[in-house]
Structure formats: structure tokens, C-alpha cells
Structure 1
């Protein structure tokens, strides 16, 4: 007969287990008169002591969600997730972290054990999210904390751009949290925040805008404006747009636009613009990074050539930031 690891537990404990994804603390067991001897016996045979005084009533490996809940139970009722764990809960494209990072207000202390780290903070997050047993930082705080622990500038920029472009948070909220960080951490996020504020939809687009800004020939462009024909028909949105001459620049990237046949169709849709007289210049992330001067020179030449022809009858509507 199969052994039930939760048999003979009080009904209230069963309710706690259902609410906490199969996790329970020693204090909760004691509160509902589960003898310490029974807890000790089961934790060594049928339960997993996943963190000090936190038990998973199963021997199977904990899921990511269970690890987050266990960390919060261990850290205490005022703690909340931040960093990658919180960013993932907000839907950002972040890999599952090896460690669960949390914050807790004073006077609680910083500590760590196993996969869990809780850090004391003096900066209150008034938009902490509570979803069942999970508590996690606001989207802006989670994005900033996650970006701060990323080792490479490109990864920091990509995350903040995604956070803004998906509507998870906005530039003003990111800037507010950036101002609250320690000086060293804030410094490494200044350029990534500028990329997020540029209106770019991806890191290559942000790099393109940075490159264009170095030109003495090219004017300040629009990023991702809505384009329509004179009679109001919607056109493909260019990544970068020089309105005075009707020049569109498209970053052709498998990763940042789409995949497979969808990517081919995206590239072919450049023809929608050329059919109404728009000059289209294509660039790639590889070209931007390996030959930026050559890429810029080609864009400048294309812009100068476009000045010698009539501007197409299209309307560009700047993207709202």
C-alpha cells in the first residue's frame, strides 16, 4: 500500500498545504498541535526540509514556484521577492535563477541559507504584489534589481527595453528606482535606462539610435513611429525614421523581430514601404557591432541620396513615450 505523507495531519494543516503548494513551516505545524516527534520522523523519511523550519511534504524536487514560496516562508511575513524571481513573475524574459533573492524592511536583518537570500532594505516598495502565497516587488523595482545583477551591459539594456516595450513598467518608474540605488549600481544602469527611454523595441535598435546620434549628417530620427499613407492606410512601422526625406531604417534580426518564415515575411514587408516611395535601408545587429563606421557611412549616403528625390506622401506619427 502506498504511504500517504500527509495522513493524520489536522484539517487546518491540509488547508495550509493547499494554500502553500505543499509547503508548511514548523511553527504552523506546532500551532495546530502536530507533535515535534512526528515532524522530525517525517522530515527524515517522507518530507524534505527545503530550508530551516520549512518542509515540502514530498521527496520530489521542488518546483520554481515552491522554491519561491519556501524562501518567503523562511524569510518571514514582511519579506518579498525581487530580482530575477520577481521579474519572471511579471512576465519578463529572465532565466530561472539559481538563488531566490528577497528584500525585507528594517529592523529585520540580512541573511542567507541554501538557495535563499534576503537583504534588508530601507527603501519601501509601496507597490508590492501579493498573489496567493507569493509576494514580489513592483515591476520597476524587480526590473532594476535584476538589471543591476546582470554582468553585461547588453543584457541590462535588453531587460529594461523589454520592461518598457511590453508595458510591464515605464521609464519614469524605472528612473525613480534607479535614483534610489547606491551610486555604483545606479551608474551601470544609466545607459541601459537611456536605451529604454529611446523608444527602441530591442537592443539592436537602441544601438542603432546611439550610432545615428554620432553622425554630423543625419538629423534626429523618430523611433518606431506609426506610418500611414495620405488616405490613412497603415504601413509597416520602421525601426528608425528620418521624416524630412522619408527614409526608413529596418533592423533585420531573427532574434528581436520573429523567427523562421515569420522573419522572412517581416523582411519582405519592407516592400510595402518601397511601393509608396519610401526609401528603406536595412541593417543587421552583426553589422552594427562589427562594422559600425561602415554601417553609419552607408546610412549617411542613403540619406543624402534621398534628399535628391521627392519625399513620399506618407504621414509619420511619433510614438508616445
Structure 2
């Protein structure tokens, strides 16, 4: 058989985006019969099957990117041009990028794509986890591990691939057998390197019902500590770089001779302004329940203290805006009654 002969009125080399992977259904839509595909995929032929129904259109092994795209082609639901499922869509035309419907890369592969150093490079991944809807009838195959979910997350596009957000990818990565060191390392890297906030990770771990595993709980405690330390460092830099007056740092506030009324990550006694790092969620960065944080704020405000809540994410993404909010609060102190005198103690 001569493989240089055009295979259809729309020969494969006319594909505008230069893809070297297609599904068997897409090949049929392109005029390549199943017998032709099978012949070309025989040992020693120019093509090969990577995963069930996914064909590599060149000799030799797939690249790291092709392995990832093969998983998406295997897991994605193909559709007709009118949008109805079940029949493959024609391959995209000039300038169009492949569309992967109802398939999202997650787990270690997603973390690698997000730039994590603690996961293997894409070429070394033994498996690629891919999220699909709960009711999809699809089995894991080869290096494609199918993970069913009741609700697909909103994917982020990385190199044209749909990838789960970091917090969701982390939860999926540690859901399987994982040693404590690996779990702690991944969660710490996520927060330390600014991939996501600790609160978002804890929410995803809780949603996945992973917080009853001892090694995950231990890792979360380290994560919370790492998240708080990172947020505090950003707050220090924000105050310094935006030339705010020096506060007293990380204190508790009491009424003279009375009870504790609250804590502050930064406090300006003369102006009666307190900054509180608030990551959101059920617990704060120090493990304080959210309800207790709200009560502390009410007590402080009742004593005339201006409480400025700042999220770690806000400090990370828009430190200049957070500095402006604090500066406004400090200036406003000149136009109001002084706050009650409070005893300031180290926390």
C-alpha cells in the first residue's frame, strides 16, 4: 500500500492547525475508512493507537504534549456541527483550536501545567487524570485515568488545554494513595509560591471529604501556618513599600484591667486602626472560627476602632489597593472621636 496517496477529498495535510492527533471518528469524518486507519496503525506503520480511538499521525513515540492531548481526545465528548452529542464533529478548520467538551485535566498533570516543581514534568507522568461528568460511561485506559465528578470545575486554559484550578487539582492529586511528605510538599508549594490561597485549598479538601485522613490533616495544619506566614510577609512589604506609618505588629488588645477584646495583625494605636488578615471560609489563617472573627470585629468597632479586613489574595494581586484602603482609614481617624484606650500586648 502506498501511504503517500491522498486519502480523501480533504487530505490530512490540509489540516490548518498542524495537529498530529485525531480520533478514529474524526478520521472517518475526514474520509479515512476504518480499514485504512487499522492498516496504517499496524506495527511498523506510520501511525499508531495511543489510547482507544485516538490515533497518532506520525511515526515514533508521542511528545509530552501529545500524551496530554490524547487523554483529552479520549475523554472529550464529540459533537456534531449542530451541537448534538454522539456523532463526531468535523475537525476544526483554519485558525481554529481543538475544543475538548466535558473533559478537564486535573491531579498531578494539572499541577505540572500550573508550574509546580513538586510534580513530575509532563514527559515523565505515568498517568494523566481527567475529569468527566458523573454519568459518562467511560473507563480509564492506558495512561488516561478517568475521574468522574458531579460538577466540572471552570477550566483554565494553559497551552490551549483545559486544566482544573489549582485547589481542585490538589484535592484530586492527594485523593489517591499519597505519602504524607508529598501531600505536605504540594500543599505548601501551592500557598508559598502564590498559586492559590490556603482557604481555597481547605475548601476543596473538605468538599472531597479528605479532611478525615490523618496525613492530610497534618498537611493542612502546615498549610495554614504557611499561608499565614506568607500573608504576613506580604502585609509587611505592603506597609513598607507604600510608605505607611509603622504599626505595632501581631498584637492582642485588651481593655485596661478588663478582658481581651480582639487581635490585630497590624495596629496603629494613635489612630485606632487595626488591620486583620481575613482569608475567608469557615476559619481564618490562624484557625480562628469565622464567627469568632466577626464577634471580635464587632467588639473592636464598638470601642471606636476602625477594623480593616484584608484578604491574602488582595495583598498578593493588588497590594497598592490594600495600601490605599489602610491609608484612607488612617486619615479618617482625624475626623472622628478617639477610640477607647486599649492595652496592646504581643500575640
Give the TM-score of the pair, scaled to structure 1: 0.57
Alpha-carbon spacing, 1:189–1:12, altered in 2? closer, same or farther (3 Å): farther
Aligned counterparts, 1:62-211, within 5 A: 62-77=62-77, 78-93=102-117, 94-95=119-120, 96-125=124-153, 127-131=154-158, 134-149=161-176, 151-183=178-210, 188-199=215-226
Return the alpha-carbon distance in structure 1 between the equivalents of residues 156 and 235 of structure 2.
33
Q: Deviations over 1:67-115 (max 9, x none)?
A: 1110111112312111111111111111132011111112103511111
Gapped regions of structure 2 (runs ≥ 5): 78-101, 244-248, 252-311, 317-347
User: Which position in structure 2 is the counterpart of 1:270?
Assistant: none
Question: 1:181, CA displacement in angstroms?
Answer: 0.8
Q: Deviations over 1:107-131 (max 9, x none)?
A: 1035111111112111431x21234
Specify which of 20, 23, 26 is matched with residue 21 of structure 2: 23
Q: Deviations over 1:273-315 (max 9, x none)?
A: xxxxxxxxxxxxxxxxxxxxxxxxxxxxxxxxxxxxxxxxxxx
Aligned residues: 221
Return the alpha-carbon distance in structure 1 between the equivalents of residues 161 and 168 of structure 2.
16
User: Which position in structure 2 is the counterpart of 1:279?
Assistant: none
Question: 1:23, CA displacement in angstroms?
Answer: 0.4
Gapped regions of structure 1 (runs ≥ 5): 207-221, 234-241, 245-318
User: Which position in structure 1 is the counterpart of 2:59?
Assistant: 59
Q: Deviations over 1:6-44 (max 9, x none)?
A: 95465474465836x410111001112222222122111
Question: 1:170, CA displacement in angstroms?
Answer: 1.2
- Measured on the aligned residues, the alpha-carbon RMSD in Å equals 3.8
Alpha-carbon spacing, 1:109–1:120, altered in 2? closer, same or farther (3 Å): farther
Q: Deviations over 1:141-191 (max 9, x none)?
A: 112222333622122111111111222111121122111113477654222
Alpha-carbon spacing, 1:107–1:12, altered in 2? closer, same or farther (3 Å): farther
Return the alpha-carbon distance in structure 2 between the equivalents of residues 227 and 133 of structure 1.
35
Alpha-carbon spacing, 1:13–1:24, altered in 2? closer, same or farther (3 Å): same
3-state SS of paired residue (2:226): coil
Alpha-carbon spacing, 1:8–1:174, altered in 2? closer, same or farther (3 Å): same
Return the alpha-carbon distance in structure 2 between the equivalents of residues 227 and 135 of structure 1.
35
